[in-house]
Chain A
Amino acid sequence: MRSTLKASALALTAALAASTAFAGSHSLSGDLKIFLDTSNPAPRATMEAMIARFQEQHPGLNIETTVIDREAYKTQIRNFLTADAPDVATWYAANRMRPYVEAGLFEDVSDLWAEPAIAENLASTKGAMTIDGKQWGVPYTYYQWGIYYRKDLYDQFGLSEPTNWEEMKSNCQTLLDNGVKCYTIGTKFLWTAGGWFDYLNLRTHGYDFHMEMAAGDVAWTDDRVRQTFANWRELIDMGAYVDNHQNYSWQEALPFMVNGDAAAYLMGNFAVAPLREAGLTDDQLDFYQFPAITEGVAMAEDAPTDTFHIPANANNKEAAREFLRFVVSAEEQTVINNGQNLGQLPVNASASIDDDKFLEQGFAMLSSNSPGGVAQFFDRDFPAEMAAEAMQGFQEFMVFPDNLDDILARLEQVRQRVYK
């Protein structure tokens, strides 16, 4: 399968090279302002290198790149889309882009999606980019979520990858008995707790129920929701998570795993790069799909898609469109998503997936072992205000599980206001 992928990638690269050559014939000029939220070292370097390659193709263009801290970017995007719009900006797919689409701040790029090169190769992500029948940006990467774990620690205590809830808990108990926390997590910025809720809910009740919740059709005080939290509580009561997680960002929680104080991390694949950088080898680090909880519930995964958009107020939309074409091209997709760079999955079907064990496992999991469906992520599927309150509630629950009734009552109040 890999070889056919590669072959078609080659063919397409050739075709694409021809088309870019054509596009380059009426050469681009002016300024191209690009805002990026890829502030971690590896993604930052990847993006900068990619932009440099684009610059090489278009020497007449004056490209100005601004990298903004990922957490800060989320609060600034509204500002700059209205006030000081760049020509290209990174963001996230699905519900997360809805407020800006509805406010008319993102450019409709359906024309790009009509071009064969994109229409044929990006079909699988078209849904996540579509609101009201139009496309509002292009994806540049997506990645699996799942449990990254210290294989050497598991081996040391005679554990194997769990496939169901009972094994997951018994593994955890063994680790705790040996003075190792089961999971590291840093909830200071809240969203990491959203990942745990996603998986517990997806595994307890399945994809459709999760999406009903996202759409606001299920009360937070519903017994099924309580069931999800009851499962979560089992882990909390065991002491499965590292202490003081409310103080840490997700990066600050990495050392627990590196130092062997914690054995696993429920995270997106972007965690692999810093873990490797911190000195973990591929023999020490491995990945498994979040185990089943309720029997018979189809496995469903989180696979967030990161995107590029053209703000409606951009000045150089022609160059911006060319940049978007460039980013999704099979060639660039292959390069930027490989293990040395983003270490994630390419969105272009003709791109080849890097020879990296995490990417291979992730790709296999998403394409063949996720029959229930693929969600984006808690704060991308749920409306912004609901997500903010809910994730704060998750954090509180993880520290004070006894507050659950209060938390759920509060969230229910918010639900009734947000969805109206």
Chain B
Amino acid sequence: MFPRPIQQASAPAQTAYKTMLPIALILWLLPLIAVAVFSIKPASDFTQGNYWGVPGSFEFFNNYGQVFFNSDMPRYMLNSVLITVPTVIGAVALSAMAGFALGVYKFRSNIWVFFMFVAGNFVPFQILMVPVRDLTLDLGLYNTKTGLVLFHIAFQTGFCTLFMRNFIRALPFPLIEAARVEGVAEWRIFWYVVLPLMKPALAALAVLIFTFIWNDYFWAIVLTQGPDAQPVTAGITSFNAQYRAAYHLMSAGSIVAALPPVLMFFLMQKHFIAGLTLGAVK
């Protein structure tokens, strides 16, 4: 193990390490802690210039109540859910199939199709912006959640296929061979043999894509407007415009907007990290 386990070090070193941990963490999360403190302060603290002192009063319920009951935030949150969930399902489904095709079958253009997905996944969004916006307009899907979902599914398919294909490559191939010898149809092999083995990959991808899509901002402002279809990342700017300079409310709003992916991460940590670090070890 590297570095050398701290247990082998001297007692003072161990104590030093254990005190440094929380200090480092606080420093690391300082900007966030600041926002959390802002979000429970009363408005009067800001007009009186008491930005960093002890909160004048504890306004957690008031501030968060404003966010939930006196703004469009709940609508934006709902939009985010309605955009994120179908995208996760769509992208995972498409890429499971594509990953299966690329991982199991040997055909000449295999690697080129695979590279197309990989390369497409890396392109800057801006090169797609104008044509995708026009396409969405032409389809009559501008400012709809569907328009956003369709694009997200397509784009995320690149990353997901890369992921799925590599995962399937690592599965025991003899299992598939055996099924073929038995005369099982190919689609049944996919459904009954491969898919059950892919559960960890499916879970990992689902949480990853959930976070990516929930946090998308660029496409939200390119393809949607207003509280009908905009997800919370874009909505938070409108919210902030409504409460400009009301830092306590803006902070509370931001924390609410950030919460779902954070919860997702803490609940599904194992899958999340497994997904992110696939390929980090050989």
Q: Is B244 interfacial (CB 8 A cutoff)?
A: yes
Q: Is A231 interfacial (CB 8 A cutoff)?
A: no
- Contact (Cβ within 8 A) A251 B225: no
Nearest opposing residue in chain B for A252, CB measure: B245
- Contact (Cβ within 8 A) B47 A259: yes
Interface residue total, chain B, C-beta cutoff 8 A: 16
Q: Is A72 interfacial (CB 8 A cutoff)?
A: yes
**A69 partner residues in chain B, CB cutoff 8 A:** 237-238, 241-242
Minimal beta-carbon separation of B146 from chain A (angstroms): 13
Chain B residues 237 to 262 lying within 8 A of chain A, measured CB to CB, are 237-238, 241-242, 244-245
Known: A79-B225, A84-B142, A255-B245. Contact between A72 and B47, CB under 8 A? no
Chain A residues 31 to 48 lying within 8 A of chain B, measured CB to CB, are 35, 39-41, 44
Known: A66-B226, A66-B227. Contact between A83 and B242, CB under 8 A? no
Q: Is A170 interfacial (CB 8 A cutoff)?
A: no
How distant is the Cα of A76 from the Cα of B225 in the complex, in angstroms?
A: 7
How distant is the Cα of A41 from the Cα of B244 in the complex, in angstroms?
A: 10
Interface of chain B, main secondary structure: loop
Known: A68-B238, A83-B137. Contact between A254 and B245, CB under 8 A? yes
- Contact (Cβ within 8 A) B143 A278: no
- Contact (Cβ within 8 A) A39 B143: no
Interface residue total, chain A, C-beta cutoff 8 A: 26
Q: Is A288 interfacial (CB 8 A cutoff)?
A: no
Minimal beta-carbon separation of A161 from chain B (angstroms): 27
Q: Is B228 interfacial (CB 8 A cutoff)?
A: yes
- Contact (Cβ within 8 A) B49 A259: yes
How distant is the Cα of A80 from the Cα of B228 in the complex, in angstroms?
A: 13
- Contact (Cβ within 8 A) B245 A72: no
Nearest opposing residue in chain B for A71, CB measure: B241
**A66 partner residues in chain B, CB cutoff 8 A:** 226-228
Minimal beta-carbon separation of A173 from chain B (angstroms): 26
Minimal beta-carbon separation of B207 from chain A (angstroms): 31
Chain A residues 234 to 270 lying within 8 A of chain B, measured CB to CB, are 249, 251-252, 254-255, 258-259
Q: Mark A70-82, 1 if CB is under 8 A from B, else 0.
A: 1110001001101
Nearest opposing residue in chain B for A86, CB measure: B226
How distant is the Cα of A71 from the Cα of B226 in the complex, in angstroms?
A: 13
- Contact (Cβ within 8 A) A251 B228: no
**A254 partner residues in chain B, CB cutoff 8 A:** 245
- Contact (Cβ within 8 A) A70 B241: yes
13 A-B Cβ contacts within 8 A? A35-B226, A39-B241, A39-B242, A40-B242, A41-B242, A66-B228, A69-B237, A72-B237, A80-B143, A80-B225, A84-B142, A84-B143, A249-B245
